[in-house]
Chain A
Amino acid sequence: MQQEAKTLLEGKGLELVLHRLCLELVENCGDFSNTAIIGLQPRGSLLSANLHKRLEKITGKSIKHGILDITFFRDDFRRGEEILKPNTTKIDFLVENAHVILIDDVLFTGRSVRAGLDALLAFGRPQKVELLTLIDRKNTRHIPVESNYIGLTVDTHAGQKVQLTWNEDLNELEKVTLFTK
């Protein structure tokens, strides 16, 4: 089926959005001594690595960064034809009493974030958890979850898809596209 593609973010505009998100984090997290940023696998981890690099450059400090797999906490286990394949989790710092920023690329139904919150608790009880998403899809939520930090809010319907395109080394975001069937 022919898909219609609309570019949501690219080039200078994308760069500004990413930079603004970092500045918002710097404004709210102080010196990051008690803050950790954690990307939700699989797609949020690339974004979190990118933002982590930017934040360390802006603050000149070492900031805790982890990636979190949510597969075992998903609510659609035993409902599909395939095994839900897990990804790597790497959190080599204490989450207990920390201020955690969960990062995902797109906020759609909210189910991944719900699973992410459950998965995070296996590592301890954070003092505070906030959510950062690059794209917030309006009117598509299945669960009452909202982002604290939003790159861009987009009006979409369930049949559409938002896709992030990364460069070959997977460290620079090239553009964000909205596909409509």
Chain B
Amino acid sequence: MSRLSTEHLLGIKYISEEDIHILLETAANFKEVINRPIKKVPSLRDVTVANIFFENSTRTRLSFELAEKRLSADVVNFSASGSSVAKGETLTDTVNNILAMKVDMVVMRHSNPGACVFLANELKKYPKSSHARIVNAGDGTHEHPTQALLDAFSIKNHFGKIEGLKVLIVGDIMHSRVALSNIYCLKKLGAQVKLCGPATLIPKHIETLGVEVEHDLHKALQWCDVANVLRIQLERQDIKYFPSLREYAMKFGINKKVLSKLDKEILIMHPGPINRGVELDGDVADSKHSIILDQVENGVAVRMAVLYSLASIKE
């Protein structure tokens, strides 16, 4: 049956493998739509989407807004700076006020892990007044489900499959919501996942999620088909996890020299924004091995699929 097992997209952890397949298949149709001369379809007419961003974002926010507009939704934008949040309003109050304005969907980014789950639970208290669907656009170090879906979509587009592929996630795993969502998503789709980074940036007991850990970058790259390189999230690091960016770049930075030592070609991905010269060198990011800009294009299609699928069920 073609319907999602969930009302909200709070994280990949909470959705099934079947849900992921539905979303990826629908995204393929939307990828065709956004390459048409007229890229807009009327599916979400009369659906109002609030983009509530309590944390900075460029790519994700633009991508969601584009997806909403291409689906003909009405869009309201909200960012924490310049709003009543600065005056001390709580998350629940802010969102309830927005929902009272009859918003159908909320796309939220927040710096606290679990903020979207909290919000979904809050909404359950008012089942009559609010049927709003919630989409997590990144909550602290917890999950970033649409990024994981677009990464999976990009890998599938390139290789034609995901099952059985070897995917390496390199970098700051500890502070990365992209890493956690990617692990859940790739494991559910049958890929092998390995993590690589300094010991201080790999959470303890991460192996319980069914992934392996390798601290030697060359060995890890030699093993994989795809390397998803993560950004060093200095803004989330309250203490020093490694001596210097220079040292990090020397041990875990991916550049042409590192790749030339491999006896095969691998695919390079990065969720952006890139710290050029730290986790990834410019010449690799701009090379034919990289599908970073494909990821950005696919992001719009995947987010259209998420919004379309969540909105499509009768309230």
Q: Which of A14-22, A44-52, A118-126 contacts B (4 or more CB under 8 A)?
A: A118-126
Q: Which residue of A71, A73, A81 is within 8 Å of B314 (Cβ)?
A: A81
B37→A81 contact, CB < 8 A: no
A123→B38 contact, CB < 8 A: yes
A89→B312 contact, CB < 8 A: no
Closest-CB distance, B269 to chain A (whole angstroms): 26
- A82 to B312, alpha carbons, bound, how many Å? 7
CB of B61 closer than 8 Å to a CB of A: no
CB of B100 closer than 8 Å to a CB of A: no
A82→B2 contact, CB < 8 A: yes
CB of B32 closer than 8 Å to a CB of A: yes
CB of A97 closer than 8 Å to a CB of B: no
| Cβ-closest chain B residue relative to A96 | B37
B26→A82 contact, CB < 8 A: no
B2→A73 contact, CB < 8 A: no
- A123 to B37, alpha carbons, bound, how many Å? 6
CB of B311 closer than 8 Å to a CB of A: yes
CB of A104 closer than 8 Å to a CB of B: no
B40→A122 contact, CB < 8 A: yes
A121→B32 contact, CB < 8 A: no
A124→B29 contact, CB < 8 A: no
| Cβ-closest chain A residue relative to B41 | A72
Contacts of B313 in A (CB 8 A): 78, 80-83
B42→A72 contact, CB < 8 A: yes
CB of B158 closer than 8 Å to a CB of A: no
Q: Which residue of A78, A85, A87 is within 8 Å of B311 (Cβ)?
A: A78
Q: Among the interface residues A85, A121, A123, which one has the most CB atoms of the partner chain B within 10 A?
A: A85
The interface bits of chain B over 42-53 (1 if a CB of A lies within 8 angstroms of the residue's CB, else 0) are 111001000000
| B interface residue count range (under 10 / 10 to 19 / 20 to 34 / 35 or more) | 20 to 34
- A37 to B26, alpha carbons, bound, how many Å? 26
Contacts of A83 in B (CB 8 A): 2-4, 22, 26, 308-309, 312-313
Contacts of B3 in A (CB 8 A): 81-83
- A121 to B40, alpha carbons, bound, how many Å? 11
Closest-CB distance, B15 to chain A (whole angstroms): 14
Contacts of A12 in B (CB 8 A): none
A80→B314 contact, CB < 8 A: yes
Contacts of B314 in A (CB 8 A): 78-81
Contact (A73, B37) CB under 8 Å given A78-B312, A83-B22, A86-B29: no
| Cβ-closest chain B residue relative to A69 | B29
Closest-CB distance, B105 to chain A (whole angstroms): 12
Q: Among the interface residues A81, A86, A122, which one has the most CB atoms of the partner chain B within 10 A?
A: A86
CB of B239 closer than 8 Å to a CB of A: no
A73→B312 contact, CB < 8 A: no
- A103 to B248, alpha carbons, bound, how many Å? 61
Contacts of A82 in B (CB 8 A): 1-3, 312-313
Known: A72-B43, A123-B38. 15 other contacts (CB 8 A): A69-B29, A72-B308, A73-B41, A78-B313, A80-B313, A83-B3, A83-B4, A83-B26, A83-B308, A84-B312, A86-B26, A87-B29, A88-B29, A89-B33, A123-B36
Interface set of A (CB-CB < 8 Å, partner B):
69, 71-73, 77-89, 118, 121-124
In the A-B complex, list the 3 residue pairs whose CB atoms are closest, starting with the nearest.
A72-B41, A86-B29, A122-B38
Jot down 13 A-B pairs with beta carbons below 8 A, ordered by A. Answer: A73-B42, A73-B43, A78-B314, A78-B315, A80-B313, A81-B313, A82-B2, A82-B3, A83-B26, A83-B313, A122-B37, A122-B38, A122-B40
Interface set of B (CB-CB < 8 Å, partner A):
1-4, 22, 25-26, 29, 32-33, 36-44, 47, 308-309, 311-315
